[in-house]
Structure 1
């Protein structure tokens, strides 16, 4: 009986332990199903489903990255839309200005006050352009390239327009002459290199001193065009010699120099006609049938004299063209020498200003000898040039003298100018003719480094050369045109050799020089629309506007119109293509985000109906377990007591 009793107690304990385990399992399963229904999640801990949890982490990581890429795409798109808006603002203002403002300025002889009112509109246009060019998006300057915190465009008191410290009119290259000038100019602007040179007769420096000594401007660094012309043609300055291999004298070449022309030392055909009219020549109809009227006709007529003076030039048929001061005086002299008799003009009473009439009712004629005609017309040409108040700087005069071949005697430095210049302009590819005519902005630094690497210049001299202002501008251009601001928009952004692979990301940098222009054209006009408007403002600022100024004005207006058209046809079109690309990318990222979100939902979250069903089954199982336990516990206790 004892053994039987002992056996019953062991069996009861085993049943209780097994029951307790099953009950706890049922309770745990019920609690799990309750959490599933409450949280709507398939698992709340990694341990519950490690494989699903790891997959979920990966999906969530991809989802977050896609959301960041989508935000980057929308941000880039919003920036480009702001860029588009600002460019459209500039082109719209510019076109409206051309259409409306030109109505107030169509005549070079318009009043000064009228031109100043027009100039104010130009200045307002410049300020509006600057506001648009310095536009912001999210407190960042949109046209600053990769530098979005600093003001990109700036207007100095002088009127010069800068982009991040570099004048927008700066060419994106240095010619061989530019490099030679930088190397040869004395410090601090230049480098002071020289070659062995045998000076001309006369030497450049001596001639420059003599010419500038003739200035009557009161400023030793400027000279009027008239004073310079007279000094050049003075025998005391020894400019009547010929350069080697040339037939023209130094004086002749200087008189025809382009700097004179660009400075305004020219006279238009219309101005010559006015001078002839002031001397009494006219184009009255003849014969008119009225003896008195016919007697007022000059001999020769104004048109005949003008055509003879301008024979062989474009001015003979187009009086809007211009002729150099020197050539005009030569042609006047040639015409006077060709005359075989006096010129006759209607005589005017100096006291009354009326024609002097003879008893027969015809006008008395005033004879002018050819020599007097030449002298008087030369004087009027001189006065015309003097009235234009054209001045040149000492540097311009020095450039003119250098252009015609004047040289100073110099002794070569170590290294010489030619050695450094030839090495810098060398074509390292070895393609004939080995030397370059110019260095682009991205070649300048390599050229300097090559000279240093070959020990032609020391390292410190290389740094000194890079510190030159003009070279510094080219080095900044290298930075500005090669900088980027990449954003990850879902194309697997990656690096190679420390640089972002351009095809793996989107470049959001917008270079203001690319948008609004830089450098100058073949006419010397700025390509930048802000600087171009500033040039127009300067043209209108003069008291008396000349035919050349008016011609320049028209060229500027034509260039403005072409620039605005180009900004629309090419600039906005390119930005529109980028915007369309970003919009398509956003659509793709949105779709990818939705797919990832669905995959995460399928993995992490349960089906509510299924979860509730499972909870009911768990509750049923738990209740059944409790009922079984109640039966077991009751029987076992009675058996134990008995």
Structure 2
């Protein structure tokens, strides 16, 4: 086979370009320290990188949830210790221990006044907020959990903590803000439209409501103004209680929103199971392997961050019909002390009930401590997981600087050698002889 100068030159040029291309690749690798920049360069490593980064992002979300829960628990713990301090002070020699049958009415009234102030301190403590959330409202954190009714009875989320009877609440309509319009679905509809998705769209889609899918779709061309939107909504829902707030002559834009905030009316005197309120749950995903079983959510795969306040103050009555709430007991003790004649039997019984509930409070604080300890262990585990995932990501996607620089210098040496070899391989031309 005849080998020509052109063939040698072409082959040399191709090899030199390959060497230059590899030099460029290694230069980029030494600069970025990345093993690959496109998935096509290493599909297996790219797939692994996606999986690792997804796991790292999930773990980061767990860490954020955990940190928020830990901070919330620390605030709650501080409030609980404050509540315990109040209970200890009430039981001190200056208050309940000083009560006896020989005290004057004036002395009893002084203690009664102190007890009422301690009631206020308890109420304030149990309505502690963390950010915009009330800590001791169980599964409801948007409203103060404890309030005092007009007759002086203590209410937890509207329920009398002694009798378990609800004071009653009016219905509240849901609302949604979409396309620049605030829609009120009316108190008469209560929670009927909660979780409905309402969309105002372009195109030829007809106005419709799907009760099964919980969607309301409105074509923007049919609702040039808010007045038109209100008319269409009243027609679709069959309720004239649905209204659009603000200036009804304003135009409507496109958008999507979810209806929320509706609450059903509760009739005054409705009996509520206090145990259900005590056992309310509010779950947080902190990386325990969120899982569902035949009964729904697997409670072992999530963390329960709810803190129903009546678990700490107490609720209901004992077998003798005496209240088991610290706030209520203090009020009744104060009432007994303010009477012209002290009923020592009744007072002693109430004081004994308060001391018993104080022990229940200590038990609840101890159980709460186990929750905070669990969070500390979980925090350590998530930190370790984060470090391990980060190491795997670095090993999979990045190269050691020394290795990258060494590879680059070796390829640079090979390229420079190839350039020098080229002057010897390629034959001189006629012009070279003419010099």
Give 1:68-217 correspondences, 5 Å limit.
68-102=61-95, 105-108=98-101, 110-171=103-164
Q: Shift of the alpha carbon at 1:168?
A: 0.5
Q: Is 1:22 paired with 2:15?
A: yes
Deviation per residue, 1:265-312 (Å, 9 max, x gap): xxxxxxxxxxxxxxxxxxxxxxxxxxxxxxxxxxxxxxxxxxxxxxxx
Deviation per residue, 1:613-640 (Å, 9 max, x gap): 1011111111122223344456256599
- Of residues 465, 473, 489 in structure 1, which corresponds to 2:272? 473
- Of residues 285, 303, 310 in structure 2, which corresponds to 1:506? 303
Q: Is 1:582 paired with 2:375?
A: yes
Q: Shift of the alpha carbon at 1:58?
A: 0.7
**Partners of 1:574 and 1:97 in 2: how far apart?**
23
Deviation per residue, 1:458-503 (Å, 9 max, x gap): xxxxxxxx965444434xx476345321111222102346832111
Q: Shift of the alpha carbon at 1:551?
A: 2.3
Deviation per residue, 1:391-438 (Å, 9 max, x gap): xxxxxxxxxxxxxxxxxxxxxxxxxxxxxxxxxxxxxxxxxxxxxxxx
Indicate the residue corresponding to 2:384 in structure 1: 591
When residues 563 and 116 of structure 1 are mapped into structure 2, their CA distance, relative to the original with a 3 A threshold, is same
**Structure with greater proportional helix content:** 1
Indicate the residue corresponding to 1:610 in structure 2: 403
Give 1:7-86 correspondences, 5 Å limit.
11-86=4-79
Q: Shift of the alpha carbon at 1:546?
A: 3.7
When residues 114 and 27 of structure 1 are mapped into structure 2, their CA distance, relative to the original with a 3 A threshold, is same
Q: Shift of the alpha carbon at 1:598?
A: 1.1
- Of residues 307, 329, 334 in structure 2, which corresponds to 1:537? 334
Indicate the residue corresponding to 2:181 in structure 1: none
- Answer yes or no: is the 8 Å Cα contact 1:105–1:114 preserved in 2: no
- Answer yes or no: is the 8 Å Cα contact 1:169–1:527 preserved in 2: yes
Indicate the residue corresponding to 2:413 in structure 1: 620
**Partners of 2:368 and 2:414 in 1: how far apart?**
67
Greater RCO, 1 or 2 (C-alpha within 8 Å, sep 6+): 1
Question: What SS class does the counterpart of residue 94 from structure 2 fall into?
Answer: helix
Question: What SS class does the counterpart of residue 428 from structure 2 fall into?
Answer: helix
Give 1:238-249 correspondences, 5 Å limit.
none
When residues 49 and 145 of structure 1 are mapped into structure 2, their CA distance, relative to the original with a 3 A threshold, is same
- Of residues 309, 314, 327 in structure 2, which corresponds to 1:517? 314
**Partners of 2:356 and 2:318 in 1: how far apart?**
13
Q: Is there any run of 5+ residues in structure 2 with no aligned partner, and where?
A: 166-264
TM-score by length of 1: 0.49
Question: What SS class does the counterpart of residue 147 from structure 2 fall into?
Answer: strand
Question: What SS class does the counterpart of residue 155 from structure 2 fall into?
Answer: strand
- Answer yes or no: is the 8 Å Cα contact 2:290–2:302 preserved in 1: yes
Bigger mean CA deviation after superposition, 499-508 or 65-74: 65-74
Q: Shift of the alpha carbon at 1:127?
A: 1.0
When residues 499 and 469 of structure 1 are mapped into structure 2, their CA distance, relative to the original with a 3 A threshold, is farther
Q: Shift of the alpha carbon at 1:583?
A: 1.5
Give 1:127-526 correspondences, 5 Å limit.
127-171=120-164, 469-474=268-273, 477=274, 480-481=277-278, 483-496=280-293, 499-526=296-323
Structure index of larger Rg? 1
- Answer yes or no: is the 8 Å Cα contact 2:63–2:379 preserved in 1: yes
Q: Shift of the alpha carbon at 1:102?
A: 2.7
TM-score by length of 2: 0.70
When residues 13 and 531 of structure 1 are mapped into structure 2, their CA distance, relative to the original with a 3 A threshold, is farther
